[in-house]
Amino acid sequence: MSEETRSETYAELASVGPYGVRPGHALITMVEPHPGHEYAYNRWYEDDHYYAGAMAMPWMYAGRRWVATRELQDLRGPEKSAVARPVTAGCYLSTYWITEGRYDDHMKWTVGINKRLNRDARVHQERTHVFTAFQDHETTVYRDGAAGPRDFHALDHPYAGLILQVIDSEGPGERAELLERLRTRDLPRRLTGSPAAMVTIFRPTPLPGDRMTYVKQVEGVDTRLTLLWFLERDPRECWTDHFTDLETLGAGTGRVELVAPFIPTVPGTDRYVDELR
């Protein structure tokens, strides 16, 4: 394909299809660098992969990295988690928003670029994907109603922390019931007076068959909900007063499989790398 033809293709693609700002989809990926490779992993991800493997892709319009120091890992639960084994696994979390209605377009690009990056030896192998899934947005619950940042601002707003929560249900019907309960009752009640400004809720989607072999297929496609709590305070400062009972959220209609607090990384630095173990 000639340079001119490629340029015309870009112009054509930009002129059609959805182009709103709503985060219709997300990539949520929690990763554990192998012992002894923490610094190398952090530099590779920040200096190359965050951009070449994510932000440079079409329709992925916002991203942010988070880290769990050992102190934060020790706050996690439940002890026997279906997501993280052991529950402390996965000290780095990356979150990305994808334009609503552009998931299929984005996936075609991401599979292609990751094959290329792998072929060009630009993929760090000394890591384990603990929880990696593309997800569809279900709803966002706000503490302050129409005031404050919206969910499409969430990865750019300087939030001081984030809690990743994963809840499983028995089946699709029970998940729908759980979602409605969380949206209308449990989350509004818990957010009142809380340092959490919003909770976004997603449901996982299956990865394509031609995904990278080091990323396992997504579990819980019909039964799981993923919640992201965006905090205005460092979770270490407010955990005891507000979040120690999150493992009971949705009790009766769902089973909490992970509650994991994080703080934002400081891009371009190795801050917190020496606090992971």
User: What is the β-pairing status of strands 127-142 and 224-231?
Assistant: unpaired
Per-chain mean pLDDT for the chain: 94
Residue 213 has pLDDT above 70, yes or no: no
* pLDDT at 5 (0 to 100): 78
Residue 277 has pLDDT above 70, yes or no: yes
70 vs 135: CA distance, rounded Å: 27
Q: Using alpha carbons, select from 152, 45, 59 the residue that is nearest to residue 108.
A: 59
Q: What are all long-range contacts of 71-74, with beta carbons under 8 Å and residues at least 24 apart?
A: 71/236, 71/275, 72/235, 72/236, 72/260, 72/261, 72/262, 72/263, 73/260
| Angstrom distances, CA of residue 64 to CA of 67, 154, 174, 185, 239 | 10, 9, 31, 29, 22
89 vs 81: CA distance, rounded Å: 10
With tokens 């394509």, the residue in question is 208
21 vs 84: CA distance, rounded Å: 32
* pLDDT at 220 (0 to 100): 79
Q: Which residues, in sequence order, are CB contacts of 243 under 8 Å at separation 6+?
A: 163, 235, 259, 261
Share of the chain above pLDDT 70, in %: 96
pLDDT tens digits for range 137-148: 999 999 999 999
- Please state the three-class secondary structure of 23-60 as a single string: EEEEEEEEEEECCCCHHHHHHHHHHHHHHHHHHCCCCE
